[in-house]
């Protein structure tokens, strides 16, 4: 049976967008890790009967009638959506869901508090979370959460139809997944991937130590802000600034061309496959390494990262327990992937059962659907790594400036055309829904 799926995703897995446009229009949703789990969800659902459309992150209640007509189900992969600074967007999503008549499936949502799972910290967002869960459960059998902390939180709010299913990203290869160490010890000449969060200040001495000790270290960035710094350098008010963390172009990792960022998961994974070890605070940076076959080690600094490490048995140490002089070779030596490997089939069976309960197909159980997806990935030409501007030739930088000039000219033309319209037309474009219908009478 043909199934029309609206998938909450910023873009689809085969939508090719340049790094410049990705930055200008934020095609990664502030963090490239978002694409790892949304594209993995797309692959899981990509059966021969499925027609999958990315939502572009739109959550406008005025779209409800159109969604009800055009789609059979709305699938919502989420990250740490139960957090303070996401409450307004959660409420917008809730208002949309409340107007939907089709099934709504939440595919892995998480709460964000400290590593001790302090639920009192979440109390200010209890009501928005309750409203969201009620709206979803009116249209769904259960809610899929990322781990035990999120499940506990929802149960304290009175919801029992909650299932731990982890994150879709770890199931990119179905049930066939193993991580093995290629060597007994990690040497200083080995390739080391740093997957760190620039805002975790406790990482500063660890960054300094590893930069000095490992010449083949690379910092794999994920944030939109860093993408802008790589493309265009520091913002005017930050030029000449220095910091112990790699946030300015003056940092040695930028100066020595040791920063990379990808705007699609596929070249990112291909790049990481060439490394010996990856470690840091980024959960999807670590997961991207693991699903590339590269041993990864997580340093959780909050509940959202910790519960996924626990659920998938990813080797970890709490960031607060990591000494400033920790060395990657120590982490590599203590990393044990036995539980991660041996538990993967059972975890995959759990998310498979969750999809089946919600009448969603699975590409890995649909003939060669998963293989065809992978083949389409191989045939798609994605942008390669974004590097510091200082690493580019003059011609490459001129091409980037040309793109900006053309983009500015296009925006100016649109603005000019908009200003030339009668006021009535401007108002009709600026508003929607009820007001638009009133004006058209």
**Confidence band, pLDDT 50/70/90 cuts, at residue 418:** low
Q: What is the pLDDT of residue 236?
A: 87
**Six token digits for residue 184:** 């007994």
CA distances for 150 relative to 113, 147, 261, angstroms:
10, 6, 30
The per-residue pLDDT for range 20-48, each reduced to its tens digit, is: 999 999 999 999 999 999 999 999 999 99
**Confidence band, pLDDT 50/70/90 cuts, at residue 429:** low
Q: What is the pLDDT of residue 322?
A: 97
Which residue blocks in 13-106 are alpha helix, DSSP H?
Answer: 19-25, 33-45, 64-70, 87-98
Strand, helix or coil for residue 127 = helix
Strand, helix or coil for residue 55 = coil
Strand, helix or coil for residue 396 = helix
The per-residue pLDDT for range 324-363, each reduced to its tens digit, is: 999 999 999 999 999 999 999 999 999 999 999 999 999 9
The per-residue pLDDT for range 199-217, each reduced to its tens digit, is: 999 999 999 999 999 999 9
The per-residue pLDDT for range 79-110, each reduced to its tens digit, is: 999 999 999 999 999 999 999 999 999 999 99
Q: What is the pLDDT of residue 394?
A: 73
Q: What is the pLDDT of residue 389?
A: 84
Is the distance from CB of 93 to CB of 349 less than 8 angstroms? no
pLDDT (average), residues 233-255 = 94
Q: What is the pLDDT of residue 413?
A: 73
The per-residue pLDDT for range 278-328, each reduced to its tens digit, is: 999 999 999 999 999 999 999 999 999 999 999 999 999 999 999 999 999
Strand, helix or coil for residue 140 = coil
Q: What is the pLDDT of residue 294?
A: 98
Strand, helix or coil for residue 259 = strand
Residue 433 has pLDDT above 50, yes or no: no
**Confidence band, pLDDT 50/70/90 cuts, at residue 1:** confident
Tell me how far apart the terminal alpha carbons of the chain are, to the nearest angstrom: 40
Comparing 396 with 222, the larger pLDDT belongs to 222
Lowest mean pLDDT of 132-146, 263-277, 401-415, name the range: 401-415
Residue 406 has pLDDT above 90, yes or no: no
Determine how many CB atoms are found less than 10 A away from the CB of residue 196. 24
Q: What is the pLDDT of residue 267?
A: 98
Beta bridge partners of 316: 298
Mean pLDDT of the chain: 93
**Confidence band, pLDDT 50/70/90 cuts, at residue 275:** very high
Residue corresponding to tokens 């009709």: 428
Percent of the chain with pLDDT over 70: 91
pLDDT (average), residues 253-260 = 97
Beta bridge partners of 117: none
Residue corresponding to tokens 């049930």: 175
Torsion, Cα 397 400 406 409, to 10 degrees, reads -80
Residue corresponding to tokens 């474009």: 429
Q: What is the pLDDT of residue 331?
A: 98
Q: For the purposes of burial, counting CB atoms within 10 Å of the CB of 388, is it exposed (0-12), middle (13-18) or buried (19 or more)?
A: buried
Q: What is the pLDDT of residue 402?
A: 72
Residue 121 backbone phi and psi in degrees, to 5: -60, -25
- CA 288 – CA 282 distance, rounded (Å): 10
């Amino acid at each position: 049976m043909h199934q029309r799926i609206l998938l909450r995703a910023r873009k689809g897995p085969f939508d090719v967008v340049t790094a410049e446009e990705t930055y200008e229009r934020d095609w990664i949703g502030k963090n490239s890790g978002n694409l790892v789990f949304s594209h993995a969800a797309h692959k899981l659902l990509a059966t021969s009967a499925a027609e999958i459309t990315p939502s572009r992150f739109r959550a406008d209640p005025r779209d409800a009638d159109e969604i009800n007509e055009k789609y059979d189900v709305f699938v919502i992969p989420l990250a740490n959506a139960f957090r303070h600074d996401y409450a307004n967007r959660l409420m917008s999503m809730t208002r949309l869901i409340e107007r939907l008549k089709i099934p709504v499936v939440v595919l892995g949502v998480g709460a964000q508090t400290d590593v001790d799972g302090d639920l009192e910290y979440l109390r200010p967002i209890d009501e928005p979370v309750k409203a969201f869960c009620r709206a979803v459960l009116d249209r769904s059998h259960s809610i899929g959460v990322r781990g035990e902390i999120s499940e506990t939180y929802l149960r304290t709010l009175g919801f029992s139809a909650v299932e731990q299913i982890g994150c879709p990203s770890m199931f990119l290869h179905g049930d066939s997944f193993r991580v093995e160490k290629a060597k007994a010890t990690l040497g200083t000449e080995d390739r080391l991937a740093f997957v760190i969060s620039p805002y975790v200040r406790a990482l500063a001495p660890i960054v300094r130590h590893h930069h000095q000790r490992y010449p083949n270290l690379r910092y794999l960035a994920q944030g939109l802000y860093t993408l802008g710094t790589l493309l265009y350098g520091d913002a005017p008010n930050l030029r000449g600034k220095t910091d112990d963390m790699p946030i300015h172009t003056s940092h040695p990792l930028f100066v020595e061309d040791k920063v990379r960022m990808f705007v699609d998961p596929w070249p990112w994974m291909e790049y990481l496959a060439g490394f010996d070890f990856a470690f840091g605070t980024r959960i999807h940076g670590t997961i991207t390494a693991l699903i590339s076959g590269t041993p990864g080690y997580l340093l959780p600094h909050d509940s959202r990262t910790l519960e996924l490490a626990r659920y998938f048995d990813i080797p970890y140490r709490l960031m607060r327990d990591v000494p400033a002089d920790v060395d990657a070779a120590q982490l590599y030596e203590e990393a044990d992937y036995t539980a991660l490997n041996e538990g993967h089939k059972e975890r995959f069976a759990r998310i498979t059962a969750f999809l089946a309960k919600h009448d969603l197909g699975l590409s890995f159980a649909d003939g060669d659907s998963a293989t065809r997806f992978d083949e389409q990935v191989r045939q798609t030409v994605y942008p390669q790594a974004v590097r510091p501007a200082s690493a580019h030739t003059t011609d490459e930088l001129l091409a980037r400036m040309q793109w900006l000039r053309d983009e500015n000219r296009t925006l100016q033309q649109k603005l000019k055309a908009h200003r030339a319209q009668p006021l009535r037309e401007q108002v009709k474009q600026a508003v929607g829904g009820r007001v638009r219908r009133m004006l058209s009478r």
